[in-house]
Amino acid sequence: MNAFDHIYDMVSCVFYREKYLNNQLEGPLTDLKRLSDNLAASREQYKSVSGGVTERSRKLAEIADDLESLKGWNLLYFLRI
C-alpha cells in the first residue's frame, strides 16, 4: 500500500465516522433546538406576565397610600367636629 492509498483510507474512515456521528446526533440536536425555542418563548411570556404583575402591584400600593391618607384626613375632619 502506497502513501496515497493510506491517506485515502484514513480520509474515508474519518468521513464515514463523521457521517455516522452526524446521523446519531441529528435527533438529539433537533430536540435541543425545539426545547431551546420553547424555553425562549416561556421566558418571553414570563417577562410579559411578570411586568404586568409589577405594574399592578405598584398601582395597588399607590391606591393603598391614597386610601391611608384619606382615612387620616377623614379622622382629622371628624375630630374637628
pLDDT of residue 66: 85
Name, in order, each residue with C-beta under 8 angstroms of 9's C-beta and a sequence gap of 6 or more: 1
For residue 45, what is its C-alpha cell? 411570556
- Residue 67 banded pLDDT, cuts 50, 70, 90: confident
Domain ranges of the chain: 1-81
For residue 71, what is its C-alpha cell? 382615612
pLDDT of residue 79: 67
Q: Alpha-carbon torsion 52, 58, 64, 66, what sign?
A: negative
- Residue 2 banded pLDDT, cuts 50, 70, 90: very high
pLDDT of 22-33, one tens digit each?
999 999 999 999
- Residue 47 banded pLDDT, cuts 50, 70, 90: confident
Helix (H, G, I), strand (E, B) or coil at 64: helix
